[in-house]
Amino acid sequence: MPLYVVFMRRDHKIDMTQGALLPKILLFALPLMASSTLQLLFNAADIVVVGRFVGANALAGVGANSSLINLFVNIFLGLSIGANVVAAKYMGARKEELVSQTVHTAMLIALYGGIIILVLGFFIASPVLTAMGTPEEVLPLAVLYLRIYFCGMPAMLLYNFGASLLRAIGDTRRPLVYLFIAGVFNVALNLLFVIVFHMSVAGVALATVLSQCISTALVIRCLVRSEGSIRLILSRSTLVINSERFGEIFKIGIPAGLQGVVFSLSNILIQSSVNSFGAVAVAGNTAGSNIEGFIYTAMNASYQACVSFTSQNFGARKPDRILRVMLLCVACVFTTGIVLGYGAYFGGNTLLGLYSDSPEVIAVGMRRLKVILTTYFLCGIMEIPVGTLRGMGYGVVPMVISLLGACAFRIVWILTVFASVHTLESLYVSYPISWAITGTAQFIAAALAYIKYKKRITVDAV
């Protein structure tokens, strides 16, 4: 089917088990890429506004929170991956009742999880940021931003789980529209609260929370009005946690979430190492890492496509399509990483200038971009076999490999190499080395899992 025909279709669903794969992967991945970029703009808008209209300390106060926020939310975002895998698997197997059970169980997990993070995060924000060595002039602003930000956690998780369920049926276009609407509100509210009402970091945090509520309301409205098994029915009889679906979501989601948590712990250690260089280094590192985030989310769309397409074809018992999905997603993520990574690096001074007009901050940001963006395609490639493994129901294996190959390696690197050569470059270079090591191990594991699965399908057919 020609690519332009696929993109012009009005049907929001994608049958991932039949037909040409590349056009459907692009149909799935491109809106998701745009959606992820818009979602990242929530935080980017915060950083740009405070950096340009308040100052470097406010910029650092917002940026110092990113690794800590990720620590709290990653466990539940891992569960959203589990929900996506389970729903897509049953969608591929045409088991609509089990898809419906997955939808209602997942949304309740999101609601309760968001409330837990809100309460816990609000009270431990100050002691944890202090323990991370956040500079004294930055600490009060960082704590204020974080506490307000955590108030939006229930909305944030509900949106991510809802969008994950829509991805299970191949719908990545409507979440894009919802995030665009919320993103416009976010930018407008940022400018209003900071420039007009002079609310500094409190204003950008409040703008983010309100924008998240808008995108959440839209995605819930979408699920409620949907037809078929993906429909969310807001009644006591259906809005319950099914123990079997809960267990399946946890089987995939908890390892994915724990992996994200440990990654965040290693990044907190890295953030603490950056903090030792002072507020200017924190601000420059914040701007640089925020630019990288846009490249990462673009590459991550191929990973998400790999998870959903693998899950549906796993449920439909089509191993040959699973292999083609992985190879096509590797090609997509490599192209994305090279084009966007090098493009952002060569335009780095201009991009960093959007976050701060301080030459010192921009110089620090370029030191990070030089190491990370020129090798960032390795990070994207590393995640594709993880998507294959998770789509086939393996949760623990990719987690263990990632924890050893990336997280443990970075921690050892910081305690040894960085301790001996105390420079930002020696800190940043731990990233590409860990991506190469971990990616190699993940591909070996995915190949072994695929061979085992194909043999089982062959035996069952006989």
* The three-state (H, E, C) secondary structure of 71-101, written as one string: HHHHHHHHHHHHHHHHHHHHHHCCCHHHHHH
Per-residue pLDDT reduced to its tens digit, 56-67: 777 777 766 766
Using 50, 70 and 90 to split pLDDT, how confident is the model at 461?
low
List Cα–Cα distances, 78 to 189, 213, 256, in angstroms: 30, 21, 5
Mean pLDDT computed over 167-188: 88
- Residue ranges per domain, the chain? 3-461
Note the pLDDT of residue 354.
Answer: 84
Residue 113 has pLDDT above 50, yes or no: yes
pLDDT value of residue 2: 46
Res 10: pLDDT: 53
pLDDT band at residue 148, thresholds of 50, 70 and 90? very high
Separation between Cα atoms, residue 389 and residue 108, nearest integer Å: 26
pLDDT in the model for residue 96:
92
Whether the Cβ atoms of residue 337 and residue 299 lie closer than 8 Å to each other: yes
For residue 335, pLDDT beyond 90: yes
Range scoring the smallest mean pLDDT among 39-48, 159-168, 241-250, 410-419: 39-48
Check whether 324 has a pLDDT greater than 90.
Answer: yes
Amino acid at 25: I
In the prediction, which pLDDT does 4 show?
A: 44
Out of 127-141, 221-235, 244-258, 368-382, which region has the weakest mean confidence (pLDDT)? 127-141
Could you tell me the pLDDT band of residue 279, with boundaries at 50, 70 and 90? confident
- pTM here? 0.80
- Report which listed range, 187-196, 255-264, 402-411, is most confident: 187-196
Query: Is the predicted pLDDT of residue 309 greater than 90, yes or no?
Result: yes
Per the prediction, the chain carries an average pLDDT of 87
Model confidence over 12-31: pLDDT tens digits? 788 899 989 999 999 998 88
Across 116-141, average pLDDT: 86
Residue 175 confidence (pLDDT) above 50: yes
Question: Please, what sign has the CA dihedral across residues 60, 148, 33, 400?
Answer: positive
- For 301, other C-beta atoms within 10 Å of its C-beta total 27
What is the per-residue pLDDT across 345-375, written as a single tens digit (0 to 9) for each? 999 999 998 888 888 889 988 999 999 999 9
Span 8-14, average pLDDT: 63
pLDDT at 45: 67
Q: How far is CA 437 from CA 169, 266, 409, in A?
A: 33, 16, 9
Instruction: Judge whether residue 73 has pLDDT over 60.
Output: yes
Q: Residue 3: which pLDDT band, with cuts at 50, 70 and 90?
A: very low
Residue 433 has pLDDT above 90, yes or no: yes
Q: Who has greater pLDDT, 400 or 47?
A: 400
